[in-house]
Each structure stands twice: as C-alpha cells, then as structure tokens.
Amino acid sequence: MKGVVFTEFMEMVESRMGLDVLDRIITEAALPNDGAYTSIGTYDHAELVRLVTALSNATGLSTQQLIFIFGEQLFQRFSVGYSALFNNVRNAFDFLSRIDGVIHVEVRKLYPDAELPKLECERPSTNELTILYSSPRGFGDLAAGLIAGCIKHFDEPISVTRTDLEKLDTCHRVRFDLVRG
C-alpha cells in the first residue's frame, strides 16, 4: 500500500485526537518501522489494519467506521494535494468514472509496483452510477469513505447503497450503487 495512505492516516489521527493518541496506537500496533512512514514508500497494508485496530481500541469506534472516516478525509486531502486531477471534471460521477481508466493509469506510471484496487464503473442511467470494487486487500470501507468524500467535494445530492458481494478467488468485492437527485 502506498505510504501516502499511512501518512494521511497518521495526520488525521494526530490532528483530530492528538499526538499522544497517535503515539499510543503506534506503540500498540507494534509496527516494524515504529510508524516512521513516508508518503513515497510502499508498505504492507496489514500494518494499516493494525493501526486502525489500535485506534478502534483507543476510541471505541468500529474499524469500519474509522476507515470510512479516513476515506472521506483522504479524499479531501487528495483534492488539495492533486488538484490537477480535478481539471475539467464537473461532477462526482465524472470523477469516479475516471479513477480506473485515468487516475490509476497515471499512478502506475509513477509507481509501477503499486497494487491498486479495481473500480469498474457502469452508468445504468444519467443519474445512476454503479461502481464494482474488487481488491485482494478488502478495503471496501476505505472505498466507501473515498466515495463519500468525493460526493462531499462536489456537494451533490447523491445517495450510496453499499452491497458486499461474495469473494471471487482472492478478491474482496463490494458494489456501490449511486443515485443522484
């Protein structure tokens, strides 16, 4: 998993809950590098799971909730850090439709070893978008948070229905049905 996800996560914990909480969950998670993450590195996604679990223990919030919140926050951070991705994108559907075909393609150019989830999009109608998430790492909650962050960013009235699907081979799969209006 890209280091930026780790650094953004730690940033979020520190800014919302303080340095001591962050220090505590790092210590509790017993990470191999003691939490010294850098945005340009690549790390085992299990370490993030351990961090989230430690945060859940510290806050009493479920890991699903925490990851969802993190996803929302992460999107907001991306919109600031990678504003170029938003050029000529008018709404949430447009942006979400471009992730697999445009954004991930660019990511792979920079990080050929990046392990990215698949986000297949369909447009059943103008106001509907179906996103099929599939990844061996099962971060469906993170995807849900990112989608929510995206909707928030474009400030559109879009409802999201999440359906967890059966695993296909090693891949976790989640379907998101988005309806505008």
Residues of this chain that interact with other proteins (CB under 8 A) are 7, 18-20, 22-23, 26, 33-41
CA 158 – CA 166 distance, rounded (Å): 25
Using alpha carbons, list the distances in angstroms from residue 176 to 7, 66, 74, 108, 135: 27, 19, 19, 24, 14
Find the shortest distance in angstroms from Cβ 131 to other proteins: 32
Minimum Å gap between C-beta 43 and other proteins is: 11
Rounded to a whole number of angstroms, the minimum distance from the CB of residue 24 to other proteins is 8
Q: Cβ closer to other proteins: 23 or 94?
A: 23
**What residues pair up with 174 in beta bridges, in sequence order?**
133, 164
Task: Output 3 or 49, the one with its CB closest to other proteins.
Answer: 3
CB 84 to other proteins: min, Å: 20
Nearer of residues 107 and 148 to other proteins, judged by Cβ = 107
User: Cβ 26 to other proteins, closest distance in Å?
Assistant: 7
- The residue among 16 and 118 lying less far from other proteins, judged by its C-beta, is 16
Judged by CB, which is closer to other proteins: 10, or 49? 10
